[in-house]
Chains A and B, each alone.
Chain A
């Protein structure tokens, strides 16, 4: 088996085909084989890929279809610039300005980022620059477990633990806190996105070449200076991408705000007030009382489209940053 092809390696293909026909397969027999397994797996994998694309396309089609029905009743301009959101009053007397909902979403998200960015970056910097290898191996997975906590659990935690605590502490200081409020939801949502920010930032920081750190140390920089002045700037685009992805999660997050932030569309910058986010409005409306075909029903698709546009743009921005980050070294 082994010697035959070697001795005839320089022979003509014709000879080899002949050898193959005799039943002993030669190394020079390069003819095609039928491999049904390969074809099947290719078909299955292609189907998987196609399915997710079709689903996405389907969602977009439905979203745009219903949203455009909504915009036949309500001008896009009024929707984007109106400062009152009273869909329950119906098409005639209600107004459909999305700004109160957008305000709710942005207020809660801003609080979440104020929590998640410093804590997430701090955790990332500790893990990447300071933690001994053993601690790192233990801490990073446990941090990622936090990302696996169902958000409804976090929402209930916000409402039943964080809100009473805030009302107690801030109430004692003379600040009145609504039972539903943006602060509690924002704080817990911040905790929710810490793993996203920390884990991806840590990846970016760990990816900074050792040579850069060494050149910092070689110039007489301390560990803190290397972390802050060498590693962080070099990892900046990855870190920004991590923050943007966290931001996207916060904007799209639903259960925490539906449970803890309230259902009152208002324009406010006071975090102790009740607000309603875009996602919370959708939950409330889907909750039952809007029949198909009504403006109220259609409005959730308009808001859904807006949410989709925002998170899509954020993802594109994050990807751009990541790409730039790859080019750096």
Chain B
């Protein structure tokens, strides 16, 4: 228990350096009673005959930031890609069980993955802006989804919400590749915001960024939380502790010793504070205190 506290303590220190706002947020974190945006029941995803994640049941609540943590190979990236049917793009992927989105079966007959992705945006591990101008990156989503929009307005609004406007307002026609990694990632967030999604999925959005850029993204997530439900996969436990309201901890279990194939399983899902300060499962405690993983 003692070690759990020391592990969580340094997590808050950098936030305090940065703005002070983040700490305020952290203290105010309301255990929201928001309705469930997603309800996952007995979800299993396999690639071919290899399961990647098994029997997950959990709910994602509106307006919260939910962090998915766990060691490599625990299937958290596979899992987060179920929420916008990104796994459909992998021919061998098979999804069993159920995910409902506002009560609608996400994998039900007649559900168009394209429509799902218009409501459930995604930010990826590596900043991946299109090789186009900054403004064109923002307007791509509205264009392909057939929204009626004023380009100048949507560019400005999205960039402002992604806290990037002041840095790029004078070079909107420059290539997105002229930006730094952190700026590119905020551009990707702005791009996701431009189609006005309901949920934003973030798959290790800071793993390619330096600590300062990471801090900015984390602050940004806190601001975005007011409008969007956010699910974030992270390797970084301090990050989960800093930004999320709830945390789900997954483990990787070895399927068979021969091929060393691993699959993930949900161990514990609770308010972030409880996961880090008072975990119920010893495996969670081992992981968050750094004894394993």
Measured between alpha carbons, how far is A214 from B131 in the docked complex, in Å?
14
Residue of B91, B128, B145, B188 near A220 (CB, 8 A) is: B145
A174 within 8 A of B: no
B132 within 8 A of A: yes
Q: Would you call B115 and A220 a contact (CB within 8 A)?
A: yes
B141 within 8 A of A: yes
Q: Would you call A234 and B130 a contact (CB within 8 A)?
A: yes
B192 within 8 A of A: yes
Q: B-facing mask of A204-224, CB < 8 A → 1, else 0?
A: 000001011111111111100
A225 within 8 A of B: yes
Interface-side segment among B49-57, B119-127, B148-156, B161-169: B119-127
Residue of A217, A225, A234 near B89 (CB, 8 A) is: A217
Q: How far is the CB of A132 from chain B (nearest CB, A)?
A: 7
A135 within 8 A of B: no
Known: A214-B128, A233-B131; 6 extra A-B contacts, CB below 8 A, are A218-B121, A219-B117, A219-B195, A220-B145, A220-B195, A225-B144
B127 to A, closest residue via Cβ: A211
B118 within 8 A of A: yes
Q: Would you call B191 and A219 a contact (CB within 8 A)?
A: yes
Residue numbers in B under 8 Å from A211 (CB-CB): 124, 126, 128
Q: Would you call A132 and B91 a contact (CB within 8 A)?
A: yes
Q: Would you call B130 and A220 a contact (CB within 8 A)?
A: no
Interface size on B, residues (CB 8 A): 27
A328 within 8 A of B: yes
Residue numbers in B under 8 Å from A133 (CB-CB): 91
B140 within 8 A of A: yes
Please name 19 pairs of A and B residues whose Cβ atoms are closer than 8 Å in the assembled complex, sorted by A: A132-B91, A211-B126, A214-B86, A214-B124, A217-B117, A218-B86, A218-B122, A218-B124, A219-B118, A219-B121, A219-B141, A219-B144, A220-B115, A220-B118, A220-B195, A222-B144, A229-B143, A233-B130, A234-B131
A54 within 8 A of B: no
B89 to A, closest residue via Cβ: A217
Q: Would you call A217 and B86 a contact (CB within 8 A)?
A: yes
A230 within 8 A of B: yes
Measured between alpha carbons, how far is A216 from B84 in the docked complex, in Å?
13
Q: How far is the CB of B282 from chain A (nearest CB, A)?
A: 37
Q: How far is the CB of A219 from chain B (nearest CB, A)?
A: 4
Residue numbers in B under 8 Å from A222 (CB-CB): 114, 144
Residue numbers in A under 8 Å from B195 (CB-CB): 219-220
Q: How far is the CB of A107 from chain B (nearest CB, A)?
A: 36
Residue numbers in B under 8 Å from A212 (CB-CB): 128, 130-131
Residue numbers in A under 8 Å from B84 (CB-CB): 218
A230 to B, closest residue via Cβ: B130
Residue numbers in A under 8 Å from B114 (CB-CB): 220-222
Measured between alpha carbons, how far is A212 from B86 in the docked complex, in Å?
13
Measured between alpha carbons, how far is A212 from B118 in the docked complex, in Å?
17
Residue numbers in B under 8 Å from A220 (CB-CB): 114-115, 117-118, 141, 144-145, 195
Q: How far is the CB of B141 from chain A (nearest CB, A)?
A: 4
B117 to A, closest residue via Cβ: A220
Q: B-facing mask of A232-251, CB < 8 A → 1, else 0?
A: 01100000000000000000
Measured between alpha carbons, how far is A222 from B117 in the docked complex, in Å?
10
| A65-118 with Cβ < 8 A to chain B | none
A209 to B, closest residue via Cβ: B128
Given contacts A220-B118, A222-B114, contact A233 B141 (CB under 8 A): no
Given contacts A219-B141, A220-B141, contact A214 B117 (CB under 8 A): no
Q: How far is the CB of B115 from chain A (nearest CB, A)?
A: 7
B177 to A, closest residue via Cβ: A328
Residue numbers in B under 8 Å from A221 (CB-CB): 114, 140-141, 144-145
Q: How far is the CB of B50 from chain A (nearest CB, A)?
A: 18
Measured between alpha carbons, how far is A133 from B91 in the docked complex, in Å?
10
Given contacts A132-B91, A220-B117, A220-B118, contact A229 B128 (CB under 8 A): no
Q: Would you call B131 and A229 a contact (CB within 8 A)?
A: no
Residue numbers in B under 8 Å from A219 (CB-CB): 117-118, 121, 140-141, 144-145, 191-192, 195
Q: Would you call B91 and A229 a contact (CB within 8 A)?
A: no
The 7 closest A-B pairs by CB, nearest first: A220-B118, A218-B122, A219-B141, A211-B128, A221-B144, A220-B117, A225-B144
Measured between alpha carbons, how far is A5 from B88 in the docked complex, in Å?
58
Measured between alpha carbons, how far is A328 from B128 in the docked complex, in Å?
12
Residue numbers in B under 8 Å from A230 (CB-CB): 130
